[in-house]
């Protein structure tokens, strides 16, 4: 219906010589106000110097609408135009859900286009933490929504294995290794203290027992990097995340891309030396203060390789580039985009999603799940406690821009209070109804079911909620905000439970009505399963 209304009103606006740029539709909060509404008359009132009601009346005068789609429309104060869909249209759409099946909700916005989503990109200096977990699930879910919408998606991990932190990691492992050999060794200043590194040292000792204090630090660094990255990959695998590309930061140095960036910025007069450091004159680009690109020690700051990396992303020709960053990047990415723009590179296809921090709660109190010396909680520990399905859902059930309080008590409940249980139970309930219907001799083949029998209040509400799925996916795509999907699935499950409470599905005295209701439940289950598949959450048939 939305596409039909958009096409029709655009044509009518243009025929009157009025701008269609401001045409937009929304869902009325109250059902009695229709299925769709537009405020276009109000947005045009100032330009046309007429009242919104007059504009709406002239716009809609004599409209011969398709009654198989639109039942009626009304104009209401202060100038809304509200549209009501026909029952025939509703049932036709429901049948399409049944016909389309597992592809219901897939879009074509990204057809023939490519997208790259960079997420996680944690330094290989330690296991993934609870904070990394939120970015992990956000990136993976957004990638699935892009794929569902037709894009060819590259899931990418920027493998940051250059710079001071990697040298510190190698020095820390060397200290732990020599400790295990009975030598008193102090960790380097700012070194890595976690128990995970002691375990890596044990593995190195078992593999290469003859190393000593004179052994090359690069050997320790390489072993630590490979070992910790194996831990990271294992954590990603546990939560169902697979990356297509692991882009190596070191390659930017080895191929001269870092030097190229400095040269290009220098050509623009945006590089200068001060106090032994190399500075980027971002103050000339609308940013409050200049930024250091190369420290006085000769070591680049992370902004420099980030600029080079994004220059490479652009060169690779993606139609859409999405970066998932933590809140600690909020000041850095504008510098990167500014550098790309002064190099005359296209950046309007690059979108940055910033997520806020995560706090774990137990009994309403902030908790730590680890007794390790290092001050972090690992993603693996969280998965161990509540399970991968719950972790994935809880990480995206709030807007990325909101701080997330992860309630461990709620996450572990096997009741309808837990939203994950609530959704999975809805799917399992539908499967159970089909099993019982078959056991009682009802025809569970819904092909040819008389959908016109579906006319009760909560039935219509459930159909409407089911048909909203493609709209929700499109909203997630356009806003790059994935939390709308779990919220929608929760509303769908709620509408299902209301329907089930109100009406008898298995009724041997009314087999045709039962078959129609089973057809509706199949459409709901298709939608639930498609949504859960996008979220990376299982849909069990038994609970």
- The full 3-state SS of 229-273, as one line of letters, equals HHHHHHHHHHCCCCCCEEEECHHHHHCCHHHHHHHHHHHCCCEEE
**pLDDT averaged over consecutive 10-residue blocks of the chain (543 residues)?**
90 92 88 90 93 94 91 93 92 95 95 98 91 96 98 95 85 95 87 90 95 93 94 96 95 94 95 94 90 91 94 97 93 92 95 95 81 69 95 96 95 94 97 95 89 94 95 96 97 96 94 96 98 98 91
Q: Which of 238, 266, 290 corresponds to the end of one domain? A: 238
Cα distance between residue 214 and residue 218, in whole Å? 12
Q: Cβ neighbours of residue 151 under 8 Å, at least 6 residues apart?
A: 109, 110, 113, 114, 115, 319, 320
What DSSP character marks residue 293? E
The CATH number of the domain holding residue 307 is 3.40.50.620
Alpha helices in 16-71 (DSSP H): 40-48, 52-60
DSSP-derived pairing of the beta strands 365-366 and 358-362: antiparallel
Please list the residues that pair with 152 across neighbouring strands: 114
Q: Which of 412, 430, 450 corresponds to the end of one domain? A: 412
Residue 51 lies in a domain: yes
Are residue 439 and residue 391 in the same domain, yes or no? no
CB 362 within 8 A of CB 388: no
Are residue 281 and residue 151 in the same domain, yes or no? yes
Where are the strands (E) in 411-451, listed by range?
none
| pLDDT of 443 | 85
Q: 64: exposed, middle or buried (C-beta count within 10 Å: 0-12, 13-18, 19+)? A: exposed
Are residue 287 and residue 373 in the same domain, yes or no? no
Sheet holding 277-280, edge to edge: 271-274, 277-280, 291-294
The CATH number of the domain holding residue 21 is 3.30.1360.70
> Exposed e or buried b for every residue in 200-216, given b needs 16+ CB within 10 A?
bbeebbeeeeebeeeee
Are residue 494 and residue 437 in the same domain, yes or no? yes
| pLDDT of 375 | 63
Q: Cβ neighbours of residue 60 under 8 Å, at least 6 residues apart?
A: 12, 73, 75, 81
Cα distance between residue 315 and residue 461, in whole Å? 48
Cα distance between residue 125 and residue 163, in whole Å? 12
CB 317 within 8 A of CB 345: no
Sheet holding 365-366, edge to edge: 365-366, 358-362, 404-407
Residue 109 lies in a domain: no
| Count of Cβ atoms closer than 10 Å to residue 67 Cβ | 11
Are residue 466 and residue 424 in the same domain, yes or no? yes
Residue 98 lies in a domain: no
Cα distance between residue 438 and residue 449, in whole Å? 16
Residue 90 lies in a domain: no
Are residue 150 and residue 287 in the same domain, yes or no? yes
Element (H, E) at 110: none
Cα distance between residue 342 and residue 152, in whole Å? 29
Helix axes 457-467, 484-502, angle to 10 degrees: 160
Are residue 300 and residue 248 in the same domain, yes or no? yes
Are residue 133 and residue 269 in the same domain, yes or no? yes
Residue 100 lies in a domain: no
Domain containing 126 equals 115-158+243-354
Please state, in angstroms and as integers, the Cα–Cα distance from residue 8 to each residue in 2, 3, 23, 379, following that order: 10, 9, 11, 50
Are residue 10 and residue 21 in the same domain, yes or no? yes
The CATH number of the domain holding residue 514 is 1.10.730.10
Give the largest Cα separation in the chain, rounded.
92
What DSSP character marks residue 106? -
| pLDDT of 374 | 58
Of 245, 249, 248, residue with least CA distance to 143: 245
Query: What is the CA angle 11-12-16, rounded to 5?
Result: 115
Structural domain total, the chain = 5
Residue 95 lies in a domain: no
Residue 275 lies in a domain: yes
Sheet holding 80-85, edge to edge: 25-26, 36-38, 80-85, 70-76
Are residue 254 and residue 312 in the same domain, yes or no? yes
CB 539 within 8 A of CB 532: yes
| pLDDT of 371 | 41
Residue 270 lies in a domain: yes
Are residue 372 and residue 302 in the same domain, yes or no? no
Are residue 447 and residue 515 in the same domain, yes or no? yes
DSSP letter for each residue of 301-349: PTHHHHHHHHHHHHHTT-SEEEEEEEGGGTTTHHHHHHHHHHTT---TT
Q: Which of 36, 64, 85 corresponds to the end of one domain? A: 85
Cα distance between residue 53 and residue 451, in whole Å? 38
| pLDDT of 29 | 84
């Amino acid at each position: 219906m939305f596409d039909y209304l958009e096409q029709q009103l655009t044509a009518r606006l243009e025929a009157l010589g009025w701008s269609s740029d401001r045409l937009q539709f929304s869902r009325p909060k109250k059902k009695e106000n229709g299925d769709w509404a537009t405020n276009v008359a109000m947005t045009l009132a100032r330009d046309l110097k007429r009242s919104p009601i007059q504009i709406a009346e002239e716009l809609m005068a004599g409209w011969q609408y398709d009654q198989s789609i639109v039942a009626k429309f009304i104009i209401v104060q202060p100038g809304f135009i509200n549209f009501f869909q026909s029952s025939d249209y509703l049932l036709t759409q429901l049948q399409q859900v049944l016909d389309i099946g597992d592809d219901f909700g897939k879009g074509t916005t990204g057809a023939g286009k490519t997208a790259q989503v960079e997420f996680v990109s944690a330094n290989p200096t330690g296991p993934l933490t609870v904070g990394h977990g939120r970015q992990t699930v956000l990136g993976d879910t957004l990638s699935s929504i892009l794929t569902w919408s037709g894009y060819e998606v590259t899931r990418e991990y920027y493998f940051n294995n250059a710079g001071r932190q990697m040298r510190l990691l190698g020095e820390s492992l060397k200290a732990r290794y020599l400790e295990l050999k009975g030598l008193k060794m102090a960790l380097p200043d700012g070194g890595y203290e976690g128990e995970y590194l002691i375990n890596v040292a044990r593995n190195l000792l078992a593999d290469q027992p003859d190393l000593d204090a004179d052994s090359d630090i690069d050997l320790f660094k390489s072993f630590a990097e490979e070992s910790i990255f194996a831990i990271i990959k294992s954590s990603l695998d546990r939560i169902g995340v697979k990356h297509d590309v692991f882009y190596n930061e070191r390659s930017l140095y080895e191929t001269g891309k870092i030097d190229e960036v400095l040269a290009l910025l220098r050509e623009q007069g945006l590089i200068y030396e001060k106090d032994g450091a190399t500075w980027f004159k971002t103050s000339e680009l609308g940013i409050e203060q200049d930024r250091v690109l190369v420290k006085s020690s000769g070591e680049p700051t992370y902004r420099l390789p980030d600029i080079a990396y994004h220059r490479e992303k652009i060169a690779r020709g993606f139609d859409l580039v999405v970066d998932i960053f933590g809140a600690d990047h909020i000041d850095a990415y504008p510098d990167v985009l500014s550098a790309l723009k002064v190099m005359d590179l296209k950046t309007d296809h690059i979108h940055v999603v910033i997520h806020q921090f995560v706090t774990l709660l137990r009994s309403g109190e902030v908790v730590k799940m680890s007794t390790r010396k290092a001050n972090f909680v690992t993603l693996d520990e969280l998965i161990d406690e509540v399970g991968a399905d719950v972790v994935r859902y809880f990480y995206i059930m709030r807007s990325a821009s909101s701080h997330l309080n992860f309630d461990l008590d709620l996450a572990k409940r096997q009741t309808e209070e837990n939203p994950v249980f609530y959704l999975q139970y809805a799917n399992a309930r539908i499967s159970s109804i089909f099993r019982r219907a078959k056991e009682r001799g009802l025809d569970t083949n819904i092909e040819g079911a008389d959908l016109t029998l579906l006319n009760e209040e909560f039935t219509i509400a459930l159909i409407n909620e089911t048909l909203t799925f493609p709209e929700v996916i499109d909203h997630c795509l356009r806003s790059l905000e994935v939390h709308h999907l779990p919220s929608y699935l929760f509303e769908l499950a709620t509408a299902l439970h209301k329907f089930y409470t109100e009406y008898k599905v298995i009724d041997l005295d009314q087999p045709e009505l039962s078959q129609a209701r089973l057809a509706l439940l199949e459409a709901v289950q298709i939608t639930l399963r498609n949504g859960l598949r996008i979220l990376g959450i299982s849909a069990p048939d038994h609970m």
